[in-house]
Amino acid sequence: MQTFPIGAAVTRAELTADPHPALARLRAAEPVSWLPELGCWLVTSRAEAVTVLREPATFTVDDPRFSTAQVIGSSMLSLDGAAHSRVRRPFVAPFRPARVADRFTAGIVEHAQELVTGFRAAGRAELRTAFAGPLAVRVVAATLGLADIDPATVLGWYTTFVTAVSDVTAGAVVPPEAVAAFATLTEHVLGGIDGHDSLLADAVAGGLQRDETVSNAAVLLFGGIETTEGMILNLLRHLLESPEQLAAVLADIGLLASAVEESLRLEPAAAVVDRYATRDVELAGASIRRGDPVTVSLAGANRDPVTFPGPDAFDLHRPNLRQHLAFAQGPHVCPGMDLARLETRLGVRTLLAELPGLALDAARPSAPTGLVFRKPQALHARWH
């Protein structure tokens, strides 16, 4: 019988509060370990993480236990093989970096400036609710052709879906409020495709069936709000807690792109991704059986010292910044990663330019938390 004493001792609470010490212990001794607390194999080394992410024939997302699919239906997030390629393909061209920059740069800057104008004079703000969240919601609404919908409504749909996925993951059935929210989203998405300039409309024009748009719109809703909000907050925290790195960025704003990548490596907004074994397989000495749940710790892989020496340091000049796995890898690499990068870079650049002396409020904690999605639950800041 296999024994994984380090994995057996790891608790959900420590993975939620500060997972990095436990992930380091696992990575050093049990890079693929069974965690009874989570009921899954946890992969923490970068090499094994890449193997899992790049081999969907062995480690699939297409499993009835995949909680997101139970809430929003089949989408590019929950399909593999030819079905996944067909659904994902229409999003490739609209999400290319040049297309994203041309379409969204002006709007992101405008939204960011408007938000900052609303609180600049106060000299202090909680930047999750005042800036990062509202900016992410506005950009998602524009992406889905829902710019005319009240941002609070879009945020309500997102909150309902996130809660439902958490409930289903814990063993509950899909709640009726999630069914109702999905029906309302369906009505607005289908009504907004024709005659609207949106990435979703481009995807339909590229071959996505109209009845497939809503589930994939919900996927973009998840990623566009949760992940981007987390990216902005984590980057701000890393910069504001690193005076030398912040000074370097203020002296050369071009370094902000490197800061985005290093922040993603150090604290990815999505800490884990789930897969299911389709066959018996050996991985780093662990005997994984067909049907076993396999969770890749992106947070663990991103601090693997084999690839990233001095992995716990925030270093803008790290030579291999983009080797992180924050957006996953393989066929399920995040299609919206360049939009998230653009939004994070422009949003943080606006804050640094408009709020001189920006600093964290030392009296209010800002450490990131979360088992699956990691970010500060509040980021209180002040400025001159």
Tell me the whole-structure pTM to 2 decimals. Answer: 0.95
Q: What is the pLDDT of residue 75?
A: 92
155-178 pLDDT per residue, tens: 889 889 888 887 887 678 899 999
Give me the pLDDT at residue 1, please.
59
**What's the mean pLDDT when you consider all of the chain?**
93
List pLDDT tens digits, range 12-49: 999 999 999 999 999 999 999 999 999 999 999 999 99
CA 229/CA 214 separation, integer angstroms: 22
Which is more confident, 327 or 173?
327
296 within 8 A of 273, measured Cβ to Cβ = yes
Q: Would you say 265 and 246 are in contact if contact means Cβ atoms under 8 Å apart? A: no
Residue 320 CB coordination number (10 Å):
11
pLDDT digits (tens, 9 = 90+) for 75-127: 999 999 999 999 999 988 889 999 999 999 999 999 999 999 999 999 999 99
User: How many domains does the structure of the chain reveal?
Assistant: 1
Predicted confidence (pLDDT) per residue in 255-292, tens digit: 999 999 999 999 999 999 999 999 999 999 999 999 99
Q: Which one, of 272, 270, 223, 214, lies nearest residue 71 by Cα?
A: 214
Q: How many residues does the chain have?
A: 384
pLDDT digits (tens, 9 = 90+) for 311-326: 999 999 999 999 999 9
Q: Is the pLDDT of residue 196 over 80?
A: no
Q: Which structure tokens are listed for 309?
A: 């020496």
Q: How many C-beta neighbours within 10 Å does residue 217 have?
A: 29
Residue range of the domain that includes 199: 5-382
> Given this model, what pLDDT does residue 266 score?
98
Question: For 64, phi and psi rounded to 5 degrees?
Answer: -60, -15
> What is the percent of the chain with per-residue pLDDT over 70, rounded to a whole number?
99
Q: What band does 192 get if pLDDT is binned at 50, 70 and 90? A: confident
Report how far apart, in Å, the C-alpha atoms of 371 and of each of 272, 298, 299, 318, 344 are.
8, 12, 10, 27, 22
pLDDT at residue 162, rounded to an integer: 83
Domain of 162, CATH number, reads 1.10.630.10
Q: What is the structure's pLDDT at 73?
A: 87
- pLDDT interval class at 152 (50, 70, 90): confident
